[in-house]
Structure 1
């Protein structure tokens, strides 16, 4: 845990020294998270032969909430919710993200949420597994990852349910 905390804090510092605004910093962290997410797909699906690739949307989200989260952080995410007003939007809620636990945010960067790194991982895993989506991290009940899928994913999932 302490190695991860040190490595991640250095990663944040590295990114911070190369950008000028909080949104740029968050974009940089999300990009790095996406690189990690691509490697995680290989680790979970190629090296570990027990895992099968999911083809249904809800199964994939449950895989992320449980298996992926346990692989990365040693425990499951706290909640998975579906938006009431948009069938393309889901929320993964984590009360205390590990990536925010060891980071002290300067006052001038108060809106910084380092969990965008995890959002990048989630986005890369979903996109790499054939579920194109955009994932963003927001301060709400801890940190909420908003997963917004492309229409094609919802259409495909409905077709699979009809079978």
Structure 2
């Protein structure tokens, strides 16, 4: 299979990913904290640079590509990797929330994903949250300029590939963990001015809609 990703990285002026470092003064070692040792409740100054994120995601795609046989299989693998991240991301977001609560309604959990999750991952909220006009069990969260795939160029022969299947996996994990089981997929839906616009399609299980009806 041809490599579906070609990456270009921001200039060296971008902030760099923090790593453990040591400074020696008068024979004594003053050790700064690594990224993994930082307080989970503190986010200022702990952001990962876009170049580091792009490089990491590039490696993830190459890792997944070596273990699949087609586009659908590759998207499924990326979805599985995103699912692992989503399980941990929900725990982190709840930990950081000063007044955490369990969401019990569909719109509430979707709004949480649209705002809190997107801000936690990308520093901004998603661009839109919509309900399907054709199917009661379908909702869509759209990002006009998805950061994760900003430096990915997909070859023409792989035009159906959407590497934001990784984000779909993150969303699916959060919904499953919050007791809103759903099937989540990523689709490229370009509009004027936003050729890379991606829509995360969420299709809830029947039991979710039945519970929602009872809570009205």
TM-score by length of 2: 0.71
Say which structure, 1 or 2, has more relative contact order (CA 8 Å, 6+ apart). 1
Count of residue correspondences = 161
Contact 2:128–2:141, Cα closer than 8 Å, also in 1: yes
Query: Hey, what does 1:95 align to over in structure 2?
Result: 144
- Residue ranges of structure 2 left out of the alignment (5+ in a row): 1-49, 191-196
Q: Tell me how large the CA RMSD over aligned residues is.
A: 1.3
- Residue ranges of structure 1 left out of the alignment (5+ in a row): none
Contact 1:37–1:121, Cα closer than 8 Å, also in 2: yes
Q: Distance in 2 between matches of 1:122 and 1:77?
A: 12
Residue number among 25, 33, 36 corresponding to 2:74 in the alignment: 25
Q: Distance in 1 between matches of 2:207 and 2:148?
A: 32
Bigger radius of gyration among the two: 2
Q: Which moved more, 1:19-28 or 1:119-128?
A: 19-28
2:149 match: secondary structure: helix
More helix by percentage: 1
Query: Hey, what does 1:157 align to over in structure 2?
Result: 212
Q: Determine whether 1:14 maps to 2:24.
A: no
Contact 1:9–1:102, Cα closer than 8 Å, also in 2: no
Query: Hey, what does 1:128 align to over in structure 2?
Result: 177
Alpha-carbon offset, residue 126 of structure 1: 0.3
1:29-40 equivalences under 5 Å are: 29-40=78-89
Alpha-carbon offset, residue 109 of structure 1: 2.1
Runs (4 or more) in structure 1 with deviation over 6 Å come to none
